[in-house]
Structure 1
Amino acid sequence: MSSRSAYKARGTVRPCPGFNAYHDAENLRNSMKGLGTDEDVIIDLLASRSNSQRQQIIQAFKSAYDKNLIDELNSELGGNFKTVVEGLMLTPAKFDAQQLKYAMEGAGTDEHILVEIVLTRTNKQIFEFSEAFQSENAMSLKDSFKDENTGDFEQLIVSLQKAKRDESKHVDVSLAKIDAQELLAAGEDKWGTDETKFIKIFCRRNFAHLYKVFEEYYQITNKEIEDTIKDEMSGTFQMAMLGLVQYVKNPAGFFATKLYESMAGAGTDDQALIRIIISRSEVDMMDIKTEFFKLYGKSLFSYIEDDVGGDYRKILLHLCGKDEDE
């Protein structure tokens, strides 16, 4: 298992040295003056600033011109390019809240989005996007989850949203053995499955400890935990539990697979592609790119360049960053 400490500062988007919020605000205003919009200026500027710096540009724009920068950009742009730019300008918490709202809008719920976001964020991030969600909507995120989901999946997603996970990297080997035995007793050794036991262990233990639990589980059963989940669970609950295991074993690989799936086959899942690239650009996009190449034999940059159409491709490529060997 790769060290999770290696994920620090592994984003492709980093704070811009010599940053001047008022200078950037002026350049953005000039790019939107007159007929047409200079999209290259917008791309080069916004994709080269950290989210914290973009928030300062918004304040500087308001101070200098008494206008809302996001509204100004939205009025000038369209399509997926507008979607990317708006996503970049929102705080991470507001962006996650927006994506969760999108996943639950209209008929049906996109459970894959709920799992992707709630599973992979820190406790602090979960609290922040839960707060942002409530401030923008008529009900709490927890109540929305309960309204939109049912059964074991509802129990899992609500448990994850409580943000009770141990975030240390401590591995208690004796406890890992006990956890593995309890998972065996709750699944393979039981008539029916005690899903609650799986949820408690999967949602509370830190990821390094869970990795050890899965190793111990294999030692006592000669069976991968994924195989037990496939045998004992079904539907969206099975999908979520398998996703959790994949993320525990290889966080960057989890997102690399999501990115590949968003572009594979006929058409592109633009929403997924945009969401993942924006949310991981300052976190672990370098690691995701490495895993993408290992899994699919082609760089993420090249895949986007070859398979994604439309005027938003250029800003996605900028956010991904070009590797030296590309």
Structure 2
Amino acid sequence: MHDPAGRDAIVIRQALLPDLTNLDAATEVICSRTPSQIQLIKQNYQAKFGVFLEQDIERHTSGDHKKLLLAYVSTSRYEGLEVDREMAMKDAKALYKAGEKRLGTDEKTFIRIFSERSRAQLAAISAAYHDMYGGSLKKAVKSEMSGKFEHGLLTILQCSENPAKYFAKALHKAMKGLGTDDTTLIRIIVTRTEIDMQYIKAEYLRKYKKTLNDAVHSDTSGHYRTFLLSLLGPNN
């Protein structure tokens, strides 16, 4: 088994390969990781594949989605919990002016703020946005953006507020309805198992009134089921 950063590097590389392109997977992994995790992923990526992560992003993505990913992997961000309330209000105002207040959208402002602010600061910006304008920043992103770019911004935003809740929802979506999105199910369980799986399981139970283990058990079978349940640990 690889360490978490090594696994992430492999997932991103496979997701960016032209014949297997799964930009949603690459976006989810990159935009849900902390700056120190991204640094380790970049080191592993270069060591394993002999190419910089930024080069592959440049080659296999496009438009604002590419600009966001490149900014997110190359900008250093504070990882502490301290926030600057005044700056949060200033950024909330800038995002409102760049999105909901105008015709068309100023994507550059969204990319700058979402890639430069710490998780705690972005959560404070989201709270300030709601206080100042009565709507949620998440809804503003959904109404102003689309496609992979929207997915990247929403992943960054939701992981700044509650990463476990973000992954619980993604797992539920992968198992909802007819058929299972096995790729997503495996990717999230394998990559989060040593990071925050106990929190994801708690969020899943709180939100869906069913344990994650029970959900996986009823949606999978055979060795595949045994493997995933062994990673999830005790059913609680």
Q: TM-score range by the shorter chain?
A: over 0.9
The count of corresponding residues between Structure 1 and Structure 2 is 236
Give the superposition deviation at 1:277: 1.4
Give the superposition deviation at 1:315: 2.4
Give the superposition deviation at 1:148: 0.8
Query: What's 1:47 paired with?
Result: none
Is 1:164 matched with 2:76? yes
Gap change, CA 1:257 and 1:270, over 3 Å in 2: same
Query: What's 1:139 paired with?
Result: 51
SS in 2 for 1:90: coil
- Aligned residue among 28, 31, 39 for 1:127: 39
Is 1:258 matched with 2:170? yes
Gap change, CA 1:163 and 1:315, over 3 Å in 2: farther
Query: What's 1:214 paired with?
Result: 126
Larger Cα-atom Rg = 1
The RMSD of aligned alpha carbons is 1.7
- Aligned residue among 234, 239, 250 for 2:146: 234
Where do 1:170-189 residues align within 5 Å?
A: 170-189=82-101
Give the superposition deviation at 1:163: 4.3
Letter in 1 for 2:6: K
Q: Is the 8 A contact 2:119 2:160 kept in 1?
A: yes
Structure 2: distance between partners of 1:267 and 1:92: 28
Query: What's 1:273 paired with?
Result: 185
Structure 2: distance between partners of 1:163 and 1:282: 25
Gap change, CA 1:225 and 1:245, over 3 Å in 2: same
Query: What's 2:156 paired with?
Result: 244
Give the superposition deviation at 1:217: 0.9
User: Structure 1 length as normaliser, TM-score?
Assistant: 0.68
Structure with more relative contact order (C-alpha pairs < 8 Å, separation 6 or more): 1
Give the superposition deviation at 1:266: 2.8
For structure 2, the 5+ residue unaligned runs are none
Letter in 1 for 2:171: L
Query: What's 1:112 paired with?
Result: 24
Q: Percent identity?
A: 35
Letter in 1 for 2:33: R
Structure 1: distance between partners of 2:47 and 2:194: 25
Q: Is the 8 A contact 1:289 1:300 kept in 2?
A: yes
Structure 2: distance between partners of 1:124 and 1:231: 31
Query: What's 1:74 paired with?
Result: none
For structure 1, the 5+ residue unaligned runs are 1-88
Runs ≥4 residues deviating over 6 A: none
Give the superposition deviation at 1:261: 2.0
Cα distance per residue 1:77-103 (max 9 Å; x no partner): xxxxxxxxxxxx112222111101111
SS in 2 for 1:168: coil
Query: What's 1:37 paired with?
Result: none
Query: What's 1:293 paired with?
Result: 205
Letter in 1 for 2:232: C
Letter in 2 for 1:291: E
Give the superposition deviation at 1:133: 1.5
Structure 2: distance between partners of 1:268 and 1:106: 24
Structure 2: distance between partners of 1:192 and 1:307: 42
Cα distance per residue 1:90-143 (max 9 Å; x no partner): 122221111011111234632221222112222222122112212222431101
Gap change, CA 1:183 and 1:247, over 3 Å in 2: same
Gap change, CA 1:323 and 1:309, over 3 Å in 2: closer
